[in-house]
C-alpha cells in the first residue's frame, strides 16, 4: 500500500508482525521512487503488498519454530547420519 503525505509517497509494510517493524518506508517524491526505495532496501513483494525485512525475518523464524515443534511432536525418523533434515531439502516435485 502506498501512503501519501504532503505530496510525498511511502510504501507501508503489509504485515507489521515484528515488534521492530519500521511500519513504512522512507517518503519519496513519487510512487515510483518509493517502490524503488523498498526494492533497494530488499523488502519482499508478496504480490499483495510489501513486507519489510524485519517482519520477513520474524515470519521465517516462526516457520522454523513451528516446523521444529511439529517434528518433535511426531514419530521419530531414522537418523541418516548426515545432519540434514532431508524433508527440508526437497524442492517442487515435477512429473516428466
Span 85-95, mean pLDDT? Answer: 53
Q: Is residue 89, in this structure, part of any structural domain at all?
A: no
Q: Is residue 88, in this structure, part of any structural domain at all?
A: no
Q: Is residue 51, in this structure, part of any structural domain at all?
A: yes
Phi, psi of 70 (to 5 degrees): -65, -45
pLDDT tens across 56-68, in order? Answer: 999 999 998 888 8
Q: Is residue 90, in this structure, part of any structural domain at all?
A: no
pLDDT band at 4 (very low <50, low <70, confident <90, very high): very high
61 is in which domain, residue-wise? 2-73
Buried b (16+ CB within 10 A) or exposed e, 16-29: eebeebbebbebbe
Q: Is residue 93, in this structure, part of any structural domain at all?
A: no
CB 13 within 8 A of CB 38: no
Q: Is residue 37, in this structure, part of any structural domain at all?
A: yes
Amino acid at each position: 500500500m502506498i501512503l501519501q503525505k504532503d505530496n510525498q509517497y511511502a510504501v507501508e509494510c503489509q504485515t507489521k508482525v515484528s515488534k521492530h517493524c519500521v511500519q513504512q518506508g522512507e517518503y519519496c517524491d513519487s510512487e515510483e521512487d518509493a517502490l524503488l526505495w523498498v526494492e533497494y532496501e530488499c523488502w519482499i513483494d508478496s504480490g499483495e503488498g510489501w513486507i519489510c525485512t524485519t517482519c520477513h525475518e520474524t515470519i521465517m523464524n516462526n516457520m522454523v519454530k513451528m516446523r521444529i515443534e511439529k517434528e518433535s511432536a511426531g514419530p521419530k525418523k531414522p537418523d541418516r547420519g548426515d545432519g540434514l533434515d532431508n524433508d527440508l531439502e526437497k524442492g517442487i516435485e515435477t512429473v516428466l
